[in-house]
Amino acid sequence: MTFKAVSQCVADVSPWFLENGLLLNITKNEAVLFCTRTQHEKISTASGLDVTGAIVPFHYTVKLLGVTLDSGLTMDRHVTGVLRSYSYHTHTLWHICLLLPLDSAKMIVHSIVSWLDYANALLHGMFGSSLDKLQVAQNSLAGVVCQALHSASDRVTEAASLVTNLSTDNI
C-alpha cells in the first residue's frame, strides 16, 4: 500500500501554509501509522511518507502536545513517561518537603498532579494495570505530604516538649 493520497493532501496544504506566512518544517515532521499489530505487518512502511519531496519515515511513537502516542494506541509509552516523571518529582519533593510549609507542599503536589494528569481523558477505557500504576504513583506523591505532615506534627510536639522542659528547668 502506498500513501499517495496523504502525500497529495500535504502537497495541497503546503501552498496555503506559504501564503499565510507559515512553513512546513520537513525536519520536524513525524509519521505514525495507527493500526493493529496484524494490520501493521501487512503494510509496508519502510519507504516512509513523501511530504513535498522529502521522505518522512514512520515511527512507532510520536509525541504530540506532551502525549506519547504509539501505533497501537495502547498508551503504554505515555504511561511509562508519566510514571518516570512522577517518580522524579516524588523523589525531589521528598527531599525538600520537610523544609516547606504544609500549604506550600500541598500546592506543589496539586500542581504536579494536575500537570501530569492533563491528558488523562485519553486513558479512558484502558486496561486496569496501567491505571493502577498511575494511581500508586499519585498515592506515593500524596504520601510525601502526609509524611511531612506527620513529621511536622512530631517536630511541633518535640518543640513544645523542649520548650516545656526548658521552662521547668529555669523555675
pLDDT of residue 33: 84
- Amino acid at the residue 127: F
**pLDDT < 50 regions, the chain:** 1, 155-156, 159-160, 162-171
Give the three cell numbers for residue 107.
500546592
Q: How many C-beta atoms lie closer than 10 Å to residue 29's C-beta?
A: 15
pLDDT of residue 153: 56
Which residue matches cell numbers 495507527?
A: 34
pLDDT of residue 166: 43
Is the pTM higher than 0.75? The answer reads no
Give the CA dihedral 123, 128, 129, 132, nearest 10 degrees.
80
C-alpha span between 47 and 112 (Å, rounded) = 41
pLDDT of residue 161: 54
pLDDT of residue 149: 60
Give the three cell numbers for residue 74.
495502547
- Amino acid at the residue 93: L
pLDDT of residue 151: 60
Q: Which residues contact 124 (CB under 8 A, 6 or more apart)?
A: none
pLDDT of residue 65: 87
